[in-house]
Amino acid sequence: AWIMPGLVNFHTHSAMTGLRGIRDDSNLHEWLEDYIWPAEAEFTPEMTTKAVKEALTEMLQSGTTTFNDLYNPNGVDIAEIYEAVKASKMRCYFSPTLFSSETETTDETIARTRAVIETIKGYQDPNFKVMVAPHSPYSCSRELLEASLGLAKEENIPLHIHVAETQEESGIILKRYVKRPFAFLDELGY
């Protein structure tokens, strides 16, 4: 018999388990903008919880015992996710994903995220924690990136972000800020 410590997956999207195979031949930006984000906008709490439970089972079967899970704001019942994680006996960082949007101001996005942080801290469970997760430099304004970092520091919690995933992203950030993604984030204090 082999004995080893549990594996840690510090970047998961459990709620997306049900979206496997959807146009996975597309480039990242087309895949997200044309297929995944519209599908996630239709998620219900029941759909999300079912997908998360399936992902928890798969992670445990492959030896993962700790994970950081990123969630878009739609169709998530934190209490249901918490109960599923608790029942699995796994350790989880729940990371609400922040995006810049024409329908929500930076202050509103931060307030919504702060409410999630307070909810999760309220569980007082060392196996269920929270991170601030601005999606990426291309999908968040400079203002939201700065506010996200400020929130993480204020709450004394980690921050998680997608960065430099594709050449296209690097080009977007270079054009927008005249810096490559890591240099831009470094300038902001990340």
The predicted-structure confidence for 60-111, as pLDDT tens digits, reads as follows 999 999 999 998 877 899 999 999 999 999 999 999 999 999 999 999 999 9
H or E stretch covering 78: helix 78-88
Range(s) of the domain holding residue 59: 9-163
* 122 within a domain of the structure (yes/no): yes
* 90 within a domain of the structure (yes/no): yes
In this structure, what DSSP letter does residue 178 have? S
* 37 within a domain of the structure (yes/no): yes
What's the CA gap between 113 and 119, in Å, rounded? 10
Predicted local distance difference test score (pLDDT) of residue 45:
94
H or E stretch covering 122: helix 106-123
- What would the mean pLDDT of 139-168 be, rounded to a whole number? 97
Number of domains in the chain: 1
Predicted local distance difference test score (pLDDT) of residue 23:
86
